Amino acid sequence: MPDDPERGRLAALRAEIDAHNRHYYVENDPLVSDAQYDRLMAELQALESAHPDWVTPDSPTQRVGAAPLARFRPVRHAVRMLSLGNAFEAQDVHSFDERLRGLLIRAGLLAEASGHAEVQGALFDEASRAVEYVAEYKFDGLAVNLRYEGGLLVQAATRGDGVNGEDITANIRTLRSVPLRLVGDAPAVLEARGEVLMAHADFERLNAAQAARGEKLFVNPRNAAAGSLRQLDSRVTAVRPLRFYAYGWGQIEDASGRDFVPRETHAAMLDWLAGFGFVASPGRGLCHGADELLRFYETVGARRAELPFDIDGVVYKVNSLRAQEVLGFVARAPRFAIAHKFPAQEETTRLLDIGVHVGRTGAITPVARLQ
């Protein structure tokens, strides 16, 4: 009954809540207060309880967590989840870029600085004959694969060993930055890949709440994110403030004959993913050649402490997907990308005292007082 006013209200509420989720988590620009948001959710919940047959899996009420699992089911990834080689020093980045230049020149995808090779545009910077890269943050969280079929989130899995992961769909559904239904016209199968993490401010709030309840404190945001994703009871995950940042993709299939996947560049693919409602690798930039990569590394490194979440380095990826394909893989890592790690954020300090914290349940936690 499309003109039933209650049905209309249901659709309007869902659209409004989804829009608020997007504003809050994707655009970082909330439009309403938490109280207003909660009121909309309560109204939607009431409508759905009155009409249980109107509940659909993509309703915002369906994020709240399901009955606990006995274990995580294994998932075989449709496309293997790779890891990255590491660069630690500037010289490693120069070697990486040199190696890629050599391979791309030989493949006819890049002109030699002095050469007259006929090459396709877009793959390199005309003036400098440099390889074009997308430089991104290396998010310090946990890699996950989100699978959408017909635009609906059907499965979320951890990376595992890259071939097999674990099914954490119930947990991932509770993340408000993860669309339950893709925005707009989606391919039949779309897998978005990225990192789940906890922002600093959310981590501080969570630890304050843990302390107030006399519960164990988390060591750092990565630990808190890992612990939250590993919950067999998704109702626990639901109250942990996790975010998802997309930086890649797995399987993409569409038999409709439409050719709407921007298969030219990595940057265009990230923009395309953003159009479906993901936060796609914030803070990224385009760089040409090793010197620009190193400038990106320095700039990001200098601002690292001001970022709202932890990163442990930056990642450089060849922008042209054709070039990525030609470069291929070695072992478990692509030849077209590399992680440039920041030095570990560790400091030496003096242990002044060790106290004890007695929790609500009587659990005793040693607390170090550091200079």
CA 128/CA 111 separation, integer angstroms: 10
User: Is 138 a residue of the active site?
Assistant: yes
Query: According to the binding rule CB under 6 A, does residue 166 interact with ligand IVH?
Result: no
Query: According to the binding rule CB under 6 A, does residue 226 interact with ligand IVH?
Result: no
Please identify, using beta-carbon distances, which residue of 37 and 203 lies nearer to ligand IVH.
Answer: 203
User: What tokens were used for 112?
Assistant: 């030699």
- Please state the length of the chain: 371
CA 167/CA 169 separation, integer angstroms: 6
Among residues 84, 87, 269, 318, which is the contact residue for ligand IVH, using CB under 6 A? Answer: 84
Among residues 327, 339, 340, 341, which is the contact residue for ligand IVH, using CB under 6 A? Answer: 339
Residue with tokens 């006929």: 118
Q: Which residues sit opposite 265 in a β-bridge?
A: 320
User: What tokens were used for 225?
Assistant: 């994110």
Minimal distance, residue 238 CB to ligand IVH, in Å: 23
Closest residue to bound ligand IVH by CB: 143
DSSP reduced 3-state for 325: helix
Q: Does residue 268 contact residue 114 with C-beta atoms inside 8 Å?
A: no
Print burial letters for 327-353: b (CB count within 10 Å at least 16), e (below 16): beeeeeebbbbbbbbbeeeeeeeeeee
Binding residue count for ligand IVH, defined by CB under 6 A: 17
Minimal distance, residue 314 CB to ligand IVH, in Å: 8
Please identify, using beta-carbon distances, which residue of 26 and 238 lies nearer to ligand IVH.
Answer: 26
Minimal distance, residue 35 CB to ligand IVH, in Å: 35
Minimal distance, residue 337 CB to ligand IVH, in Å: 5
Query: According to the binding rule CB under 6 A, does residue 281 interact with ligand IVH?
Result: yes
Query: According to the binding rule CB under 6 A, does residue 83 interact with ligand IVH?
Result: yes
Residue 97 phi/psi, 5-degree rounding, is: -65, -40
Query: According to the binding rule CB under 6 A, does residue 297 interact with ligand IVH?
Result: no
Q: Which stretch binds ligand IVH (CB under 6 A): 4-12, 24-32, 138-146, 217-225?
A: 138-146
CA 226/CA 233 separation, integer angstroms: 14
Among residues 63, 101, 129, 138, which is the contact residue for ligand IVH, using CB under 6 A? Answer: 138
Strands 337-341 and 85-87: parallel
Query: According to the binding rule CB under 6 A, does residue 96 interact with ligand IVH?
Result: no
Among residues 65, 151, 165, 248, which is the contact residue for ligand IVH, using CB under 6 A? Answer: 248
Q: Does residue 147 contact residue 156 with C-beta atoms inside 8 Å?
A: yes
Cα torsion for 301, 304, 307, 309, to the nearest 10°?
Answer: 110
Q: Which stretch binds ligand IVH (CB under 6 A): 56-64, 136-144, 266-274, 295-303?
A: 136-144
CA 181/CA 295 separation, integer angstroms: 38
Sign of CA dihedral 135, 340, 240, 237: positive
Query: According to the binding rule CB under 6 A, does residue 49 interact with ligand IVH?
Result: no
Q: Which stretch binds ligand IVH (CB under 6 A): 67-75, 79-87, 94-102, 199-207?
A: 79-87
Measured between alpha carbons, how far apart are the two ends of the chain, in Å? 67
Query: According to the binding rule CB under 6 A, does residue 195 interact with ligand IVH?
Result: yes
Query: According to the binding rule CB under 6 A, does residue 334 interact with ligand IVH?
Result: yes
Catalytic residues, by residue number, are 138
Residues interacting with ligand IVH, by CB under 6 A? 82-84, 136-139, 143, 159, 195, 247-248, 281, 315, 334, 337, 339
